[in-house]
Structure 1
Amino acid sequence: MLHQENRTTISKFFLLGLMVGSEQQQLIFMLFLCMYLVTMVGNLLIILVIISDTHLHSPMYFFLANLSFTDICFISTTVPKMLADIQSQSPTISFAGCLTQMYFFMFLVDLDNFLLAAMAYDRYIAICHPLHYAALLSPERCALLVVTPWVISNLVSVLHLSLLSRLTFCDQRAIPHFFCDLEPILRLACSDTQINNLIILAIGGAVIFIPFTLILVSYALIGRSVLGVSSAKGKWKTFSTCSSHFSAVSLFYGSIVGVYFLPSSAERDKVVAIMYTVVTPMMNPFIYSLRNKDMKRALRRLLSRKSFFWRW
């Protein structure tokens, strides 16, 4: 009976992560609104360019289009609610809404992680086994490398939420964060969270470390292949084909390490969380377009066609 009473008393949580003074409220609101719009336009443009240009119909850009779609969903999971909370005098979220936000957040973080690993594998095959590239990355295998992460990420998220829904909560409802994340919610639980913490450590750790290890191994093999190139120009040209992916990996995992593996601090956690929930999805279009000659050429072709259409 106590379990049911505690569950029903928690009908909503208070998200206190970005509570600011009235003089800062509009500035913060406009800043995050602009970042959100830039992210949406940038990633949608990448997807449109890849779909419309036949020169980009290759495994590398197939994975990039999926990464852009994931980033659009990822930032839409937290930022619209954050913008509404900044304008609200009482930023709340229902218990069901909190669970829903956590599901999509965990699902999309894991999916991002696996897609970065798939892109690292693509670069490894392109550089180390170029003659077998078409065979090793056939359309069927590329589809498998995208569908499998969707399934695994979904199962992991459902597992975390099913364990979380069995907990009881105390009267404390204030979450010192700007979205519902698993760790802050577990701190509000009155019942034993040992199983939840073990699952986070085992399953969550595996979901992060296995793709990250695959990325490290891919880059180690790429590095060995690059060192075998005789000329300095050839080495730079070879490595430059994966420089955009390397930048995206560094930004993503640097933020993850800052949130989950460094000593916890409420203010620092919020700043680093903004890095990987807002800044990383916003920066990926710039990383992959400004440092990629094929993307820049395709973008110019698309814009020239659009400008021709507008003139008519």
Structure 2
Amino acid sequence: MVQEFVLIAFSDLKELQLLLFLFALIAYTICVTGNITIIVLVRIEPLLQTPMYFFISTFAVLEIMFVTATIPKLLDNLISGNKTISLIECFTQLFVFNGLGETECYLLLVMAFDRDLAINSPLHYSAIMRKKLCVLLAVAPWVVGFAASSVTFGFMAQLDFCGPNQINHFICDLVPLEILSCSDPSMIKLAIILTATFAIIFPVIIIIALYVHIINTILKIKGAEGKQKAFSTCSSHLIVTSLFFGAALIVYIIPTGGENDKYLALIYTVLTPLLNPFIYTLRNSDVKKAVKKFVLNIFIL
């Protein structure tokens, strides 16, 4: 039985290994630094202590954990040539990566619900979105995400791996591992489809419905300034959601295990986390004000 796997990653791009390493390292550094900055700003700036920014800071914590579950191993693979990963390490990464990914799907849904409530019920928003409900809505995606990950992990753990042991990916993910199994894959394939439907398609449908509701309300607002202000509160979330779900839908809803899957995975494991801190700061006037105030306070002190 196989005791370790070999992550092929981007071995076929030998001349680009160093460039990919630098890109992944810069992306990881910016993602962690940017999200820590967002967390700190939300904690210390009274202007940002609202439900929307509470969810954004929760999302920032999730993003740090998400990239830490994948990018350090990719960096090691690219720079040292150490492509092996033990069976236990591989399955640990599989469980954590999928749990965090599914948590992100539902946290993005919660954030869309928050924006819909703020725009369509502004008078009742503060009364409804009290601290207790915000905490409950922030915790629920973690419970649902890791519960869903436990189901597919349970089926995956029952598979036998008797060789070959080369994974055509830079992370231990469901489809690449299922391809290497020498057991009957019918149950795990069904589990992957059902989990992907529950964790990706279901949230996407609800998010689309919420944004149709939001856009319909915004179009009824009189005056260009009012419309712009309303749309600016949800445009950042809409961009992040589109980037994340766009790649995830292709990889998990129509799983092929092909060569392109690992390149698509770069979008939601490296590129999207790199862009998220910029999207939430550069497109948000409140965050920009908080950043300017924070920087000025540092220089004054």
- Residue 170 (structure 2) aligns with: 178
The answer as to 2:198 corresponding to 1:206 is yes
- Map residues 155-304 of structure 1 onto 2, 5 A cutoff: 155-261=147-253, 264=256, 266-304=258-296
Distance in 1, matches of 2:141 and 2:185, equals 27
Distance in 1, matches of 2:144 and 2:104, equals 12
TM-score of the aligned structures, taking structure 1 as reference length: 0.92
> Secondary structure at the residue paired with 1:242?
helix
Task: Note if contact 2:76-2:82 (Cα within 8 Å) is conserved in structure 1.
Answer: no
Change (3 A) 1:293 1:144: same
Q: Counterpart amino acid of 1:86?
A: L
The answer as to 2:107 corresponding to 1:115 is yes
- Residue 16 (structure 1) aligns with: 8
Over the matched positions of the two proteins, sequence identity in percent amounts to 38
Please, which moves more after superposition, 112-121 or 21-30? 21-30
Q: Which runs of 4+ in 1 moved over 4 A?
A: 20-23
Question: Mind listing any 5+ residue stretches in structure 1 that lack a counterpart?
Answer: 1-8
Distance in 1, matches of 2:59 and 2:2, equals 36
- Map residues 33-182 of structure 1 onto 2, 5 A cutoff: 33-182=25-174
Distance in 2, matches of 1:126 and 1:110, equals 25
> Secondary structure at the residue paired with 2:6?
strand
Deviation string 1:42-79 (CA, Å, 9 cap, x unpaired) is 11111111111011111000000011111111011111
Task: Note if contact 2:155-2:191 (Cα within 8 Å) is conserved in structure 1.
Answer: no
Please, which moves more after superposition, 260-269 or 135-144? 260-269
Q: Counterpart amino acid of 1:121?
A: F
Shift in Å, 1:253 = 1.1
Shift in Å, 1:277 = 0.5
Q: Please tell me the root mean square deviation across aligned C-alpha atoms, in Å.
A: 1.6
Distance in 2, matches of 1:24 and 1:140, equals 49
Distance in 1, matches of 2:60 and 2:226, equals 30
> Secondary structure at the residue paired with 1:170?
coil
Q: Counterpart amino acid of 1:220?
A: V
Distance in 2, matches of 1:186 and 1:261, equals 15
Please, which moves more after superposition, 162-171 or 49-58? 162-171
Q: Larger C-alpha radius of gyration, 1 or 2? A: 1
| Length, aligned pairs only | 301
> Secondary structure at the residue paired with 2:70?
helix
Question: Mind listing any 5+ residue stretches in structure 2 that lack a counterpart?
Answer: none
